[in-house]
């Protein structure tokens, strides 16, 4: 007599991976509305009579406001959870981006005595720099990664890397598509509420619509604040008392330096080291977001012949930018896997050093007549290191300071990032208008990556991180082990 064996039971996919996928697609869909800003620079300047320093104010003020609001939005994220904060922020941001399509040339100037501001530029600052960037701080990658790290412990770097890759893939696919679309519809129009939209106006409208109708619903329907809110453990591990022998399930641990209040983090060195390196990260990435495509247009001829094809200058510049941001996907995934197997501060230092080499290629190769080679080398090296610093910084912050005020702490670190962006964007615009070249702003930005790499490497991760010094969550505070202090 034979009996049928029981069918194997397949455990459902851990819900944390749904969180990662949602963050990926939200970033993918909302990224072009911000990082694609460079596409619109040379299109909007002749329409409104702006110069490069005028439009640099729009980008730099936006970065600064986005950073200043991040600690506030991080605190709201800690208090109200991701669904409310992300959903509301994305919906309003999408509406604001759509409204940029209806900007008009007002031909009037607001005289403030010290400075005179064109009213159309003031409109752009109010909508893009203030509204869009305040809302973007609610649904920022910083808050996304602060959410992802709550769902994972053993696979934290890999999970944050996959989530952050959405920004890169969005840049790879959406920015070249937006550049192509801008050229295709230059002679066509879209009529909305009786207003005819042509060229760059249509692209703003479509980018905003994607955020409202795709990104916001995804965030509301799928995001959850923590595995505990669904009766789960980080990484999907079983409860220790129910875990089979040899399963490797772990007690919930917290770091020796976990803080109860965000103010406490400023009393320890890692906060200053991470923030200092992140200022430089902001200097370089902010500069690229606003000025890279205009820089590439200066370097490239009007018609680019490559791979048996003839490219329009703007489309090719947008494609290089897209490839660069697309390569970030490989960068964040590779460094994510490395961060789970190596000291994360070492990987972070390597990321900053690689970006520094990329900037040197971009600055010096065109001086010897190799402008195209400089752009391609920069795209490859910078692409592997641009976004890679973000998940590594987020995971290091979580490892050191825990989750109790992680959104707020990550917000302060990100504020440092945006301060760097504010100054680099403005400096590049003013130097370009006065010198007619981007050489000095890009050179200065590249040189600042040297101290950033040193600061990241100097973090005593073995001493501070919960990966190497941890205690059961219910236990009281302990001192670091005697042997930890001198190790990195």
Q: Are 76 and 198 in contact (CB under 8 A)?
A: no
pTM for the full model?
Answer: 0.74
CA–CA distance from 283 to each of 129, 144, 255, 420, 448 (Å)? Answer: 17, 22, 31, 4, 8
Among residues 345, 350, 384, 377, the alpha carbon closest in space to that of 361 is found at: 377
String of DSSP letters for 218-286: HHHHH--S-GGGGT--GGGPPPGGGPPTT------EEETT--SSGGGGGGSHHHHHHHHHHHHHHHHHH
Residue 305: strand pairing partners: 310
| SS3 assignment, position 254 | strand
Chain-centroid distance of CA 233 in Å reads 27
Query: Cα(39)–Cα(75) distance, rounded to whole angstroms?
Result: 33
CB neighbours of 163 closer than 8 A, spacing ≥ 6? 19, 20, 23, 24, 27, 144, 145, 148, 391
Query: Cα(154)–Cα(80) distance, rounded to whole angstroms?
Result: 26
CATH homologous superfamily, domain 15-236+254-468? MFS general substrate transporter like domains (1.20.1250.20)
Give me the phi and psi of 189, to 5 degrees please.
-145, 160
Helix (H) or strand (E) holding 384: none
Among residues 447, 329, 446, the alpha carbon closest in space to that of 387 is found at: 329
Helix (H) or strand (E) holding 310: strand 309-312
Tokens of 61: 């003020």
Query: Cα(457)–Cα(452) distance, rounded to whole angstroms?
Result: 9
The rounded radius of gyration (Å) of the Cα atoms in the chain is: 23
Query: Cα(269)–Cα(463) distance, rounded to whole angstroms?
Result: 11
Predicted local distance difference test score (pLDDT) of residue 243: 47
Q: Are 159 and 151 in contact (CB under 8 A)?
A: yes
Query: Cα(217)–Cα(209) distance, rounded to whole angstroms?
Result: 12
Query: Cα(237)–Cα(228) distance, rounded to whole angstroms?
Result: 12
* Residue found by looking up tokens 């697309």 in the block: 326
Helix (H) or strand (E) holding 261: none
pLDDT along the chain (488 residues), means of 10: 48 86 88 72 80 82 88 88 91 91 77 72 88 88 86 85 81 77 64 66 86 92 90 79 46 64 87 94 89 85 74 80 79 82 91 95 89 88 84 88 83 90 90 89 95 94 78 45 43
Q: Are 128 and 389 in contact (CB under 8 A)?
A: no
pLDDT in tens, 258-300: 888 888 888 889 999 999 999 999 999 889 888 888 888 888 8
CB neighbours of 267 closer than 8 A, spacing ≥ 6? none
String of DSSP letters for 93-119: HHHHHHHGGG------EEE-SS-EEEH
Predicted local distance difference test score (pLDDT) of residue 182: 75
Query: Cα(55)–Cα(149) distance, rounded to whole angstroms?
Result: 36
Chain-centroid distance of CA 140 in Å reads 7
* Residue found by looking up tokens 């919906």 in the block: 91
Detail the DSSP E strand segments found in 181-292.
189-192, 195-198, 253-255
Give me the phi and psi of 303, to 5 degrees please.
-120, 125
Predicted local distance difference test score (pLDDT) of residue 41: 76
CB neighbours of 194 closer than 8 A, spacing ≥ 6? none
Residue 117: strand pairing partners: 110
Query: Cα(60)–Cα(425) distance, rounded to whole angstroms?
Result: 5
Query: Cα(101)–Cα(342) distance, rounded to whole angstroms?
Result: 47
Q: Are 321 and 153 in contact (CB under 8 A)?
A: no
């Amino acid at each position: 007599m034979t009996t049928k064996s029981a069918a194997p039971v397949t455990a459902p996919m851990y819900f944390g991976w749904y969180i990662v996928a949602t963050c990926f697609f939200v970033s993918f869909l909302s990224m072009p509305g911000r990082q694609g800003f460079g596409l619109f620079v040379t299109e909007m300047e002749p329409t409104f009579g702006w110069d490069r320093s005028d439009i640099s104010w729009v980008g730099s003020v936006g970065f600064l406001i986005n950073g200043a609001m991040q600690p506030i939005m991080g605190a709201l994220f800690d208090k109200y959870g991701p669904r409310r904060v992300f959903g509301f922020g994305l919906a309003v941001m999408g509406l604001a981006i759509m409204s940029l399509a209806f900007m008009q040339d007002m031909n009037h100037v607001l005289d403030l005595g010290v400075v005179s501001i064109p009213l159309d530029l003031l409109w752009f600052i109010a909508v893009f720099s203030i509204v869009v960037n305040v809302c973007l701080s609610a649904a920022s990658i910083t808050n996304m990664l602060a959410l992802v790290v709550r769902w994972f412990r053993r696979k934290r770097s890999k999970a944050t890397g996959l989530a952050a890759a959405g920004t890169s893939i969005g840049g790879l696919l959406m920015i070249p598509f937006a550049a192509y679309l801008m050229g295709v519809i230059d002679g066509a129009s879209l009529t909305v509420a009786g207003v005819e939209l042509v060229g760059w106006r249509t692209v703003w409208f479509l980018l905003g619509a994607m955020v409202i109708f795709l990104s916001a619903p995804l965030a509301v329907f799928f995001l959850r604040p923590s595995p505990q809110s669904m009766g789960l453990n980080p990484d999907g591990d079983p409860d220790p008392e129910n875990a089979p022998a040899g399963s490797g399930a772990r007690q919930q641990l917290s770091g020796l330096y976990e803080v109860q209040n965000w103010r406490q983090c400023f009393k320890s060195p890692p906060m200053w080291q991470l923030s200092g390196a992140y200022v430089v990260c902001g200097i370089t990435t902010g500069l690229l977001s606003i000025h890279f495509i205009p820089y590439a247009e200066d370097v490239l001829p009007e018609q680019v012949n490559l791979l048996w094809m003839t490219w329009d200058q703007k489309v090719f510049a947008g494609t290089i930018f897209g490839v660069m941001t697309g390569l970030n996907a490989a960068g964040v995934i590779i460094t994510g896997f490395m961060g789970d197997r190596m000291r994360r501060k070492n990987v972070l230092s390597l990321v900053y050093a690689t970006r520094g080499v990329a900037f040197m290629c971009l600055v010096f190769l065109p001086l010897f007549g190799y402008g195209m080679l400089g752009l391609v080398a920069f795209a490859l090296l910078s692409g592997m290191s641009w976004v890679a610093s973000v998940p590594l910084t987020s995971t290091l912050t979580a490892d050191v300071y825990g989750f109790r005020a992680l959104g707020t702490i990550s917000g302060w670190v990100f504020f440092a990032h945006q301060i760097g962006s504010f100054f680099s964007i403005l400096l590049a615009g003013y130097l370009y208008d006065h010198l007619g070249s981007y050489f000095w702003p890009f050179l200065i930005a590249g040189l600042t990556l040297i101290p950033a790499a040193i600061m990241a490497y100097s973090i005593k991760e073995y001493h501070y991180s919960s990966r190497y010094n941890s205690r059961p969550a219910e236990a009281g505070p302990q001192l670091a082990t005697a042997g930890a202090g001198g190790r990195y």
